[in-house]
Amino acid sequence: MEGLTLFQLMDTKMAYISERQNVLSQNIANADTPGYRAKDVDAPDFKQILMRASDGGGVEGGLAKANGGNSIQMEGLTKSGFHVRENAEYEVKPSGNSVDLEEQMLKASRNTMDANMVVNMYIKQMGMIRIAVQGR
């Protein structure tokens, strides 16, 4: 399956979803921690990765290239190569905390829906491959 671009894209998307879930969970857990600033994970440019793959460049290393080419050395990146940034969309409470629980729960819910979509795509693709191999 490693050679199939769609499976590589789904793998990258699931890695992003997993990393984002970790960051959102940390935000929710620190909702009452004085001075804690909410964070979020920047999504990879899947359009750019897909265009590179369609040009024969493959998806391998696409995340690193989409994040600037040297993702391991970049500051603020996770082990998976995703950029984590401070989320400055909301007001900061007098305690210095910037977590809005409603917004974090909404983002976590959307993240779960994205994960379900990728899992369903994977199941459908595996079904199509199974049909092609079995000839039914």
pTM score:
0.74
Q: What is the pLDDT of residue 67?
A: 45
Question: According to DSSP H, which parts of the chain are helical?
Answer: 5-29, 46-54, 62-66, 101-134
Among 68, 54, 70, CA closest to 8: 54
Averages of pLDDT over each 10 residues, the chain, 136 residues: 72 92 95 93 82 63 44 46 77 88 94 96 92 83
Under a CB-based contact definition with an 8 Å cutoff, are residues 8 and 2 in contact?
Answer: yes
Q: What angle do CA 77, 83, 85 make, to 5 degrees?
A: 105
Q: What is the pLDDT of residue 46?
A: 77
